[in-house]
Amino acid sequence: FGVASLALAMGIGAPAAFAACDDGEIVIKFSHVTNADKHPKGIAATLLQQRVNDEMNGKACMEVFPNSTLYNDDQVLEAMLQGDVQMAAPSLSKFEQFTKKYRIFDLPFMFTNVEAVDEFQTSEAGEAMKETMVRRGLLGLAFWHNGMKQMSANKPLIMPEDAKGLKFRVQNSDVLKAQMKAMGASPQPMAFSEVYGALQTGVVDGQENTWSNIYGKKFFEVQDGVTETNHGIIDYMLVTSVDWWESLPDDVRDQLATIIQEVTDTRNAQSFQVNQDAKQAVIKAGGVVRQLTPEQRQAWVDLMKPVWAEFTDDVGQENIDAAQAINA
């Protein structure tokens, strides 16, 4: 570890610098922003690392950097195009500079649950989305699930009016900015690693995220409570650079692709449960969780859904129709 972190601090990326990698192995650096063991993405990345290092020993070696220790999501895609990191799994909200097609996943109340998201992603339209950034140098390898988003603030949120005038941290996405504006709130884009501090010091009043993120980064500790709105989703694209992927020997690429597919299937099936466990952990730790009546929730739907109109051209009416058909 000492050698690895020293090498990192010095910006040395040679394979030999990494304790876990042997000479001659292809080094796969995977950077992400969540914890490694209590989060749908973190667990999947850890499992991928384990399997690659067990099954591809001598050929390839994966080194996962969780918790934004290597890059945050604003930096990681550029770093990937530079060849400084080979894999990442930013949320679909973080690809704005590369494609507008993923905006469908940010539209509020577009999908009722993660199964609907899964069905959309595994449809032909969803599969095609993995390749929409190829001409920009990025290749989507797999959709990874997190789950439904909840709202939290430094005061109780029951009706959408309760959010009026508050500042909400958002991921850097135009859809999410528009959604917060529809609520009469002011959106503040910010890296994930800065959210806890911003909530704690009052730089922002609230945020939206999944249970695993709210628990994993302890946001509930610095909020009045969390309202179970299930108003949107956070999901990920496991992504790599086209150049790097194509540079791999065929057998290495094939074996890696198979492992990725298996890890994806195994862990996506568990993402709902991981979030449920995180919700229970929030409650157990003394966090306040508020439920909405159907009428109260409908008020959030009525206020937020008009945001779709602004982005229909970006995402395509046919994709909205397909998503809605799945929900029905």
Residues that bind ligand LMR (CB under 6 A): 33-34, 91, 146, 171, 192, 209, 213, 234
What is the torsional sign of CA 311, 314, 318, 322?
negative
Nearer to ligand LMR, 18 or 95 (CB): 95
In whole angstroms, how close is the CB of 76 to ligand LMR at the nearest point? 10
In whole angstroms, how close is the CB of 146 to ligand LMR at the nearest point? 6
For residues 211 and 209, give the distance between their C-alpha atoms in angstroms, rounded to a whole number. 7
Nearer to ligand LMR, 86 or 207 (CB): 207
In whole angstroms, how close is the CB of 68 to ligand LMR at the nearest point? 9
Nearer to ligand LMR, 35 or 241 (CB): 35
CB 240, CB 139: distance < 8 Å: yes
For residues 240 and 235, give the distance between their C-alpha atoms in angstroms, rounded to a whole number. 16
* Residues facing 87 on adjacent strands: 30
- In 3D space, the residue among 191, 231, 211 whose CA is nearest the CA of residue 107 turns out to be 231
In whole angstroms, how close is the CB of 213 to ligand LMR at the nearest point? 5
Between the alpha carbon of residue 289 and those of residues 47, 152, 231, 282, the distances in Å are 31, 9, 15, 8
What is the total residue count of the chain?
Answer: 328
CB 154, CB 202: distance < 8 Å: yes
- In 3D space, the residue among 234, 231, 215 whose CA is nearest the CA of residue 284 turns out to be 215
For residues 102 and 300, give the distance between their C-alpha atoms in angstroms, rounded to a whole number. 22
Nearer to ligand LMR, 152 or 209 (CB): 209
In whole angstroms, how close is the CB of 21 to ligand LMR at the nearest point? 25
| Degrees, nearest 5: CA angle 157-161-163 | 55
In whole angstroms, how close is the CB of 103 to ligand LMR at the nearest point? 15
Nearer to ligand LMR, 68 or 86 (CB): 68
In whole angstroms, how close is the CB of 216 to ligand LMR at the nearest point? 8
Nearer to ligand LMR, 91 or 268 (CB): 91
Nearer to ligand LMR, 218 or 253 (CB): 218
DSSP letters, 195-220, are HHHHHHHTS-SEEEEEHHHHHHTTGG
In whole angstroms, how close is the CB of 269 to ligand LMR at the nearest point? 18
Nearer to ligand LMR, 119 or 194 (CB): 194
Strand, coil or helix: 188 = strand
